[in-house]
Structure 1
């Protein structure tokens, strides 16, 4: 059985184009799926049913025709999914969901205004993005970005880091001005002191 670390290593190899054929196959497959569902307006359930109809019809005809032409019938293997990978994925998802809920609880408690404003701005940005395109297109754009940005960063790491450092310095300057002109003028209630026992 492959552990989660091995799966993550394989995913990193695909994203960083270590094996160009596999990475290209993923990108071409995602592009074909996006074209099929988004541009041609085909539906997932219809596609799955059509594929199953085709496979079952071929296997059924092959099994019945094999008796007439004195050939062996197709050997259909018994397929069973292992339980361990699904449990590992479920455990990782549960941990990440609990962590996200903890962060949301911390933000909603009203202790950190900066984090609250950052989350509100992020959610607002995603709501605008969601109104511009549907989920499948957004998923496809994210998929393509995951397959291009890491490899481009790895190739041009020095230039990107220098630009990011300049951008961070400029962002800190602008935030300081915003803090002085806007955030410092927001009225805040008195902080409650904790009772010591």
Structure 2
């Protein structure tokens, strides 16, 4: 699809999400880079039925089908399988970064923090669907640096039961940080303060 069409999306199906993760969804990505999703197994979403924009605010809702044999159930924990809570937090960061990209932010996303998280439940192998509902409370382009930032509050449900809440999850989109020549040593091959 064309980049202009991508920016108008109000939902994404599994095929589109996978193509975005692999970098093949948009045939004419912007020169500054297209904020994308991680590939499996770190990809934590299967479909996005809702993408809404309202000024510098918005909403994005995604669903994840729980798989009995998911990689994390195999190791977290032996004899007590549970989806790590940090993967739910990462799913929210993934969605906030994607939202920023859908608003036109160019570059690559990085989680910048979260103010508050509360876990009230868990995700087990025989659950069916996890739903991530993120209310974007602020999106801003930062013209001086060519960056963008999005901040959202989230609720995570498993089989329609609220199990996590998050406040002020923040993601930044930055140009010039991509490490496309991995695993070779290059200027982007080392991390540190951005």
- Which TM-score band (shorter chain)? under 0.3
- TM-score (norm. length: structure 2): 0.20
**Which entry has the higher C-alpha Rg, 1 or 2?**
1
| Higher percent of residues as helix | 1
Higher relative contact order (CA 8 A, sep 6+): 1
Report the TM-score, using the length of structure 1 for normalisation. Answer: 0.19
Structure that is richer in strand per residue: 2
